[in-house]
Amino acid sequence: MKNIEHFEIKSEIGRGGMATVYLAHDPRFDRDVAIKLLPREFLHDPQFKIRFEREAKTIAKLEHPAIVPVYDYGEIDGQPYLVMRYMQGGSLENRLEKGPLSVDEILKIIERIASALSEAHAQRVIHRDLKPGNILFDTRGDAYLSDFGIAKLQEASARITGSAIIGTPAYMSPEQVHGEEEIDGRSDVYALGIILYEMLTGQKPFKAETPAKLLMCHLLDPVPRILDEKDDLPPGIDGVTSRALAKEPDDRYSIATDLSEALRSVITGEKQIQQVTKEITEKLTREVPQTIKSKVRGKEEKGRSTFPIWGWVITGFILIGLLIGGGFFIRQGQAGKGPLAFLATSTPLPLPAFIPPEMTSPTSHSIATNPPTTIPTITHPPTPGIGSTIISPVDGSTMVYVPEGEFLMGSEDGFENKRPVHMVYLDAFWIDQTEVTNDMFAVFLNAQGNQMEGGENWLDVGDVDAQIIWEGGEWKPKSRYVYHPVIEVTWHGAQAYCEWAGKRLPTEAEWEKAARGLDGRAYPWGNQFDSSLVNLDDETSDDTKTIICTPSGCDGYSKTAPVGSFPSGASPYGAMDMAGNVWEWVFDWYDEEYYAVSPLNNPWGPSSGPAHVVRGGSWLNYENDARTTYREWLKTMTSSNGVGFRCVLLP
């Protein structure tokens, strides 16, 4: 190859269907560069030159530490070319030829590439052909993203020439397979999810004999459980890959950095569990022999704990088991700060998180006894505050922090069951940021089975509205409802899930404080109703009895919506969907007059009753039902297409 303009060609370093890449020297700046020479066929489109210049300028404006910079562009003998930084560290494709990467290396790569994608997406630049061959490395091993915009140029040319779908079949999103012209950054998130899966396992999630069959896998096949492929990965990793690879864009991470933050939380959380487990084991090794020696002497040494040896041993093993099975890790609420070294494990024993008190003869105002004392918390500073979150490695849920303190519960408006307004003191707690999803509940069913309790199965899969099905020997969410809240679940099913995840259902008081905050607001977002902030029975629902949308618009969903679809409607503590979408089971039995005798400190509701409380309203209801103080009840064994739940954890 002869020189290109003033660039001195040294050698050809790559060739593919999209372009030929040359290593060249730029004598003006005395540096090596990479020149990507695009095919002459592009010029069959008379508008290509205009589009090429426009795209080249757009790509050149992408300034980010993890995006390969474009230095120049031009045309020689009818062939367009781009001049870019020469990356000497090879590609991710080269590295994957040797097998899976370490989780530390994967996290470093994903964080850089996700940050680059988010910057590009913010400028409305979509990559469209993200794959390991387009992730390059410098001599320090830092990852860079290359080839922005080239796939878009090829797609435009393909529409003119009638060519096939453009892209790399193994990494194409379902919407690309459909041939949709208008795609957004979530298509790149899907491709990044494929790459993440491949880095973790050394295998692509979907395999087929032909490219055509592979494309159909993206459309129809469920995402393989990554832990079935490689069982030594952190438990929460399956939730990250499953969400990134959701068939529907609305069910994926909305931005690439959300994916990388979730991955960091899971990986860092697993390391913290291992470290704390090691520390506890070492402490037991040191302390137990000393205690034995002291007991043999018949007296305690000065300053020595009098806690019996069996207590140390049992407590130690309990804590180790809890840390392995249900550790939670805090990261500050500000985006980009990453997780901090703070561990909260108030997880109960592998027995019910709350054992209901023995039933007594029903009285009009019998009060529930307190729950059993939980295992002491192991914590490391800093102290959490409003805006802090934790991620559960058991079910992958994000939880938000509600500080201890008093708040006014109830309302003098509306039904009598909300009266009187009374002061309540609550200890601090964590509450799931969103309702439990179909994807999460399916994992639980695969672990525990769909058991019968109280004469009904936990999940009513026979109902036409059920969104979880039994298929291929396992429970799976229906593809369009992966991240919608689980419905058709009984109170027993909700409580069983929370116990399995090392949590419990919130009390009615905890639920109201998390939704309302301290200022007595009517709705989680404030005192004015806004139909665009909540999924209720508005004009997009499919019945004739609807509320009138406010000027800001309707909610846009006829039934349930993916959890977290209304972030602007979040509560003061960051809990989403506390109004609408689905009613939520809480722990308490229902008593219309309970507020009159409710204790000040940490009320747990009556000790018995005809039904359990549900809160928050649903897609079937109107604005009054979505108020933070509105109380409703359902029979314990009831399941409904408008009822779900979320869980809490004590620090």
Q: What pLDDT is attached to residue 1?
A: 64
Q: What pLDDT is attached to residue 284?
A: 46
Q: What is the CATH number of the domain that holds 58?
A: 3.30.200.20
Do 236 and 340 fall into the same domain? no
Do 501 and 600 fall into the same domain? yes
Torsion over CA of 329, 331, 336 and 338, rounded to 10 degrees? -50
In a domain, 314, yes or no: no
> Model confidence over 305-321: pLDDT tens digits?
334 443 444 444 444 44
Task: Work out the number of other CB atoms within 10 angstroms of the CB of residue 199.
Answer: 23
Do 176 and 201 fall into the same domain? yes
Do 336 and 472 fall into the same domain? yes
Query: pTM to 2 decimals?
Result: 0.50
567 DSSP 8-state letter: G
Q: What pLDDT is attached to residue 581?
A: 94
Distance CA 23, CA 32 (A): 7
Give the pair of three-digit tokens for residue 18: 């999209």
Give the pair of three-digit tokens for residue 358: 């023995």
Domain termination residue (choose one: 36, 51, 85): 85
Q: What residue type is assigned to position 230 of the chain?
A: K
Helical residues (DSSP H) of 85-173, grouped into ranges: 92-96, 103-122, 150-161
Domain termination residue (choose one: 63, 85, 107): 85
Do 80 and 97 fall into the same domain? no
Place of tokens 């002459």: 40
Do 104 and 69 fall into the same domain? no
> Model confidence over 136-164: pLDDT tens digits?
999 999 999 988 755 454 444 444 333 44
Q: What is the CATH number of the domain that holds 625?
A: 3.90.1580.10
In a domain, 318, yes or no: no
In a domain, 284, yes or no: no
Do 412 and 495 fall into the same domain? yes
Give every CB contact of residue 221 below 8 A, 6+ residues apart in sequence: 206
Asked if 362 and 542 count as a contact pair (C-beta separation under 8 A), the reply is no
Distance CA 443, CA 316 (A): 29
Domains of the chain: total = 3
> Model confidence over 382-430: pLDDT tens digits?
688 998 999 987 898 999 999 999 999 999 888 888 999 999 999 999 9
Find the domain containing 71 and state its range: 8-85
Collect the ranges in the chain with pLDDT lower than 70: 1, 16-18, 41-49, 51, 55, 149-166, 269-382, 538-556
